[in-house]
Amino acid sequence: MPVNYQFNWSVLWSGQTGGWLLQGLLTTLQISLLGWLLAVALGIVSGALRTVPFPPLRWLATFYVEFFRNVPLLVWMFFWYFGVPPLLPEAVRNWLFDHGVEFWAGLCALGVYHGARFSEVIRSGIQSIPKTQFEAAISTGLTVAQSYRLIIIPIALRLIVPPATNESLNLLKNSSVALTIGVAELTFQTRQIETYTAKAFEALAAGTIVYLILCLSIAALMARVEKRFAIPGMIAQGTGD
């Protein structure tokens, strides 16, 4: 910092700014959580559709995954915010404009974009289970449903946890892109504090630390879960990342 820069950390909690930060954190958590639910649902559905024996459905799911995950999230933000509402029926549009259209557009963008990426995570997790596991389950006399429930899904879940954690953290961090369409999440509020107090360093430090705490604690928690449920001899134990 140059000599003429005066640190003033109290801007973070004096006046309205503390409330802004808190509100930004809540919005970030809200849009991330809802986006995560949408993304996981879309990931499971599209992942399942890619295995059905009906080609058009398979193509549709492949198209969804390939197209949506290979285009920047920012473009999807603009697409859902500016591009889609004019095409909707009048009643839906009016409802959206009365109920925070930017939040719903941001949610769609996050959920649909990360849904495509979750789909790949789930698919590669399931594909990395050796076929012999299934054959062994059948030969011990389990039915197909039982071997899925007792063998395949427990293994798949454990294999999916590490990449799914990474992807969930990406989703959380990417929710910051929603600031471009005016969702008042954490980064947006950090910007706002910077604008009103001209204390860039303090505002950015506050936002950054909140993101770091969120991401590092989720990562640490999931690393423990991973270790707890590690399959001996199947995945490297305790790699952490």
Partner 1 sequence: MDLQVITNNFAFLMQQGFFGIGNFVGGTLRLAVPAMVLGFLLGILIGLARLSRLRWLRWSATVYVEFFRGVPLVMVIFWFWFIIPNLLGKSLPEYSVALTAFVIFEAAYLGEIIRAGIQSVPKGQVEAATATGLARAQMMRWVILPQALRNMLPALVTQFIVLLKDTSLASIIGYVDLTKAAQIVNNREIRPFELYLFIAVIYWLCSYAMSSYARHLEKNLARS
Residues that bind partner 1 (CB under 8 A): 1-2, 5, 66-67, 70-76, 78-79, 82-84, 86-87, 173-177, 179-180, 187, 190-191, 194, 200-201, 204, 207-208, 211-212, 215-216, 219, 241
CB of 80 to partner 1, least distance (A): 9
CB of 87 to partner 1, least distance (A): 7
Choice between 25 and 84, CB closer to partner 1: 84
Rounded distance between C-alpha atoms, residue 50 and residue 56, angstroms: 10
User: Which pairs with CB-CB distance under 8 Å and at least 24 residues apart come from 17-23?
Assistant: 17/193, 17/196, 17/197, 20/189, 20/192, 20/193, 21/186, 21/189, 21/190, 21/193, 21/206, 21/207, 21/210, 23/184, 23/189
Choice between 44 and 204, CB closer to partner 1: 204
Choice between 142 and 219, CB closer to partner 1: 219
CB of 53 to partner 1, least distance (A): 25
CB of 161 to partner 1, least distance (A): 18
Rounded distance between C-alpha atoms, residue 141 and residue 206, angstroms: 58
What does the angle CA 166 – CA 168 – CA 170 come to, to the nearest 5 degrees?
70
CB of 2 to partner 1, least distance (A): 6
104: which 2 tokens?
């719903």
Choice between 53 and 86, CB closer to partner 1: 86
Choice between 160 and 172, CB closer to partner 1: 172
**Residue 41, by phi and psi: left (phi above 0), alpha (psi -120 to 50) or beta?**
alpha
Choice between 86 and 233, CB closer to partner 1: 86
What are the DSSP calls for 175-201, one per residue? GGGGGGGT---HHHHHHHHHHHH--HH
CB of 58 to partner 1, least distance (A): 18
